[in-house]
Amino acid sequence: MAAAGTRFFRVTVRRNLVCEISPIAAAEARCGDDDPLAVSTQLAQNNRNNGCLDGEYDFASFEAARHFATLCAGYMQSFCEKSVEAMNRLDAPVDGTWHNPFIPRPPAGGRRD
């Protein structure tokens, strides 16, 4: 665990976009060090529970926070590129509506964001 007074860094992800990397006090941090397994587990849980990467991820160093933020941005870049490729191959949909094949469709009557 880090010594009292040590700064940690929080990566905030909203709507699958990295919004902020900000310093936080050690007492606020939800991690003891830069444990990739713990962060990966939290990321997977958020994605499974919410269908997105949204969350707050804490790191013991700015370098680790920046690396994680870059990985999140790279994931979204890849996702967007695949979506654009799918749209470029698109013919007019039979029912007039195109759905991104990389996004789970909501159940009938479900909410759309």
Tens of pLDDT along 46-101? 888 888 889 999 999 999 999 999 988 988 898 889 889 888 888 777 777 877 77
Residue 41 lies in a domain: yes
Residue 52 lies in a domain: yes
Q: State how far the Cα of 85 lies from the Cα of 63, in Å rounded to an integer.
A: 33
**Residue located via tokens 């698109």:** 90
- pTM to 2 decimal places: 0.72
What is the Cα 98 distance to its own chain's centre? 25
Q: State how far the Cα of 10 lies from the Cα of 73, in Å rounded to an integer.
A: 15
Q: Pick the residue with more confidence: 52 or 4?
A: 52
Residue 98 lies in a domain: no
Residue 103 lies in a domain: no
Can you give the chain as a three-state secondary structure string?
Answer: CCCCCCEEEEEEEECCEEEEEEEEEHHHCCCCCCCHHHHHHHHHHHHHHHCCCCEEEEECCHHHHHHHHHHHHHHHHHHHHHHHHHHHCCCCCCCCCCCCCCCCCCCCCCCCC
Range of the domain at 72: 7-88
Structure tokens, 111 = 């909410």
Count of the separate structural domains present in the chain: 1
Residue 108 lies in a domain: no
Residue 40 lies in a domain: yes
Residue 109 lies in a domain: no
